[in-house]
Amino acid sequence: MNARSHQSLQTGMEFDGYRLEEKLHTGGMAALWRVTDLRDRHLNKDEPARRVPPLIMKVPLLFSTDDPTAIVAFEVEQMIMPKLKGLHVPQYFGSGDFDAQPYIVMEQIAGESLRSRFAQAPLPVDEVVTVGIKVAQALQDLHRQHVIHLDIKPSNIMFRDSGEAVLIDFGLSRHDRLPDLLDEEFRLPMGTGPYISPEQVMGVRNEPRSDLFSLGVLLYHLATGERPFGHPTSVSGLKKRLYRDPIPPRSHKADVPRWLQEIILRCLEVDPAARFDTAAELAFVLQHPEQLTLTTRADKSAQDGYLSVLKRRFRVAGSEPALQHSVSEQLSKAPIIVAALDLTHGSQSLAESLLHITRRMLQTEPGARLACLTIRKTSRIGMDESLIQQGENIHVKQLVDLKHWARPLNLSPDKITFHVLEASDPASAIVDYARNNGVDHIIIGSRGSSAIRRYLGSVSAQVVAEAECTVTVVKFQGK
């Protein structure tokens, strides 16, 4: 193909091993085509062809816009997509250069984008929370791959048949370890009006909590049916979010839970440091709202007064964007640590050893969140009569014991949570909890001989073998 041919792509055309089957969509900067891969993808001559999922080809519309950011954004996406992997992004297959036919070929995600649900907003609280958890988990996975999306909006979020959120369109994204072409070449804010964060308006593109602000806008809209900052189209309109707080969600819709208003307004804080530290922490509190410490945000019923807004305007007028760390550094500053305990059958000495190691780790990770976890081993999942023994609820007793164990750590309520899980397989329960909550480090005890000690030791060994995060085993050789 020559450089002019991308003006007139037609169904049935073949190039670079692909055949154009059908144009699916034409947007402002690119067209999407359903394509067929014409090549046999054999791993080697003795193995069957590799299964190729349905594919789409994204082709920039270079001659339909005078906006140079369209070209640069496509270059950015071409750089970033080959670096990404996992269920939360489309699988990348290949790309074409600008000197011939520029394109990106990727996995086609079945189903519709989140945009289709916004017409029905406000949605039930359970659905709002589920969407928030899934998107936050996808963002955490993306951030761990050194990428900040910077254009989180309904049309850029899709869902697999298996339920995972998939993030698409990385044209405005920033990769810690690749050149930031958009920052180098342009000075205007990059993003989508309703969802762009205050720091993006100020030209900061290396703050991972910008994506949490955008997710907060999504949750606000899904919960209330309203946009927190309207739909500004000018830089001056965008700058209003630097000093004008949104109407509290419960003022739009009174049945929004107080804890959900707390979460949404925290995401929408102007200062990134006042938001959640990581997407994993946001996903965590959405899954465990009973562990959330409520502040004045939860009961706020109106926007801040004139004097507060005026003070913010003066402060913003004389401020410069703060120097930010990389996404990797931000994640490393706010890890989630699990301390897995057995206080029912465990020894006091082992519990003290675990407390000592946990305290030492928290001293080296002052921004960490600690989840104290114990497993009540059951023959089946769920509540049964054995929960009540001698008039005492065993679940509640174990929860109280956990809090008593952790009291010497003197952590603020927003940095520690407590969980009693019922499971027939304690090791699997710990591993699943860590996977579902984006845990970075597990601390677990292990003891020596005797039947009970061998059993507990096998739990720690299984956690070490199966956990996707770092595991510290605290051994105690007691009598």
Residue with tokens 């205050």: 198
**Radius of gyration (Cα) for the chain, nearest Å?**
25
Rounded alpha-carbon distances, angstroms, from residue 199 to 171, 214, 241, 270, 298: 18, 12, 10, 8, 24
Question: How many domains are contained in the chain?
Answer: 3
> Of 72, 107, 142, at which residue does a domain stop?
107
List % helix, strand, coil for the chain (3-state, nearest 5). 40, 20, 40
230 and 270 housed in the same domain: yes
Amino acid at 358: T
Say if residues 439 and 338 touch (Cβ distance below 8 Å): yes
Query: In which band, very low, low, confident or very high, does the pLDDT at 43 lie, cut at 50, 70 and 90?
Result: very low
Give domain status of residue 354, yes or no.
yes
What is the spatial distance between Cα 150 and Cα 148, in angstroms, rounded to a whole number?
6
β-bridge mates for residue 373, sequence order: 340, 419
The region of weakest confidence among 20-24, 115-119, 301-305, 383-387 is 383-387
Give domain status of residue 329, yes or no.
no
Mean pLDDT highest for which of 320-324, 341-345, 475-479? Answer: 341-345
170 and 235 housed in the same domain: yes
What is the spatial distance between Cα 403 and Cα 306, in angstroms, rounded to a whole number?
43
- H or E element, residue 14: strand 14-15
Strands 174-175 vs 147-148: parallel, antiparallel or unpaired? antiparallel
Predicted pLDDT at 316: 74
HSE at residue 373, side-chain half, CA atoms within 13 A, is: 28
The region of weakest confidence among 40-44, 50-54, 203-207, 462-466 is 40-44
Give domain status of residue 120, yes or no.
yes
Give domain status of residue 326, yes or no.
no
99 and 120 housed in the same domain: no
CATH of the domain at 389: 3.40.50.620
Give domain status of residue 327, yes or no.
no
Rounded alpha-carbon distances, angstroms, from residue 472 to 142, 231, 361, 386, 452: 26, 49, 10, 32, 20
- H or E element, residue 116: helix 115-118
Task: Look up the domain containing 432 and give its range.
Answer: 335-476
276-291 tens-digit pLDDT: 999 999 999 999 999 9
What is the spatial distance between Cα 331 and Cα 203, in angstroms, rounded to a whole number?
21
Identify the burial level of 437 via C-beta atoms within 10 angstroms of its C-beta, where 0-12 means exposed, 13-18 middle and 19 or more buried: buried
What is the spatial distance between Cα 398 and Cα 414, in angstroms, rounded to a whole number?
21
Strands 369-377 vs 336-341: parallel, antiparallel or unpaired? parallel
Alpha helices, H only, 194-277? 198-201, 209-224, 235-239, 249-252, 258-267
Phi-psi bin for 291: left (phi > 0), alpha (psi -120 to 50), beta? alpha
Give domain status of residue 347, yes or no.
yes
Alpha helices, H only, 365-447? 394-406, 426-436
> What is the pLDDT averaged over residues 120-129?
96
294 and 431 housed in the same domain: no
Strands 336-341 vs 441-447: parallel, antiparallel or unpaired? parallel
392-442 tens-digit pLDDT: 577 778 888 888 999 999 998 878 888 888 888 889 999 998 988 888 999
DSSP state of 321: P
CATH of the domain at 66: 3.30.200.20
133 and 273 housed in the same domain: yes
β-bridge mates for residue 15, sequence order: 18
Q: What stretches of 268-361 adopt beta strand conformation (E)?
A: 336-341
165 and 311 housed in the same domain: yes
Residues in the chain: 479
> What is the pLDDT averaged over residues 49-63?
82
Query: In which band, very low, low, confident or very high, does the pLDDT at 253 lie, cut at 50, 70 and 90?
Result: very high
298 and 370 housed in the same domain: no
Predicted pLDDT at 319: 63
CATH of the domain at 289: 1.10.510.10
127 and 100 housed in the same domain: no
Give domain status of residue 307, yes or no.
yes
119 and 95 housed in the same domain: no
12 and 136 housed in the same domain: no
> Of 319, 344, 364, at which residue does a domain stop?
319
238: which 2 tokens?
């965008």
- H or E element, residue 371: strand 369-377
The residues, any chain, with a CB within 8 Å of residue 432's CB and separated by 6 or more, are: none
For residue 248, pLDDT over 90 is answered with yes
> Of 57, 74, 107, at which residue does a domain stop?
107
161 and 309 housed in the same domain: yes
175 and 267 housed in the same domain: yes
What is the spatial distance between Cα 293 and Cα 304, in angstroms, rounded to a whole number?
22
At CB < 8 A and 24+ separation, what contacts does 242-245 make? 242/198, 242/201, 242/202, 242/270, 242/312, 242/316, 243/270, 243/309, 243/312, 243/313, 243/315, 243/316, 244/303, 244/309, 244/312, 245/303, 245/304, 245/309
* Displacement of CA 309 from its chain's centroid (Å): 31
Give domain status of residue 254, yes or no.
yes
Report how many helices (DSSP H) and strands (DSSP E) the chain contains, helices first: 16, 17
259-313 tens-digit pLDDT: 999 999 999 999 999 999 999 999 999 999 999 999 999 999 998 888 888 888 8
Rounded alpha-carbon distances, angstroms, from residue 295 to 4, 86, 275, 281, 307: 59, 36, 13, 17, 22
Q: What stretches of 27-91 adopt beta strand conformation (E)?
A: 30-37, 55-60
The residues, any chain, with a CB within 8 Å of residue 192's CB and separated by 6 or more, are: 151, 153
Predicted pLDDT at 85: 96
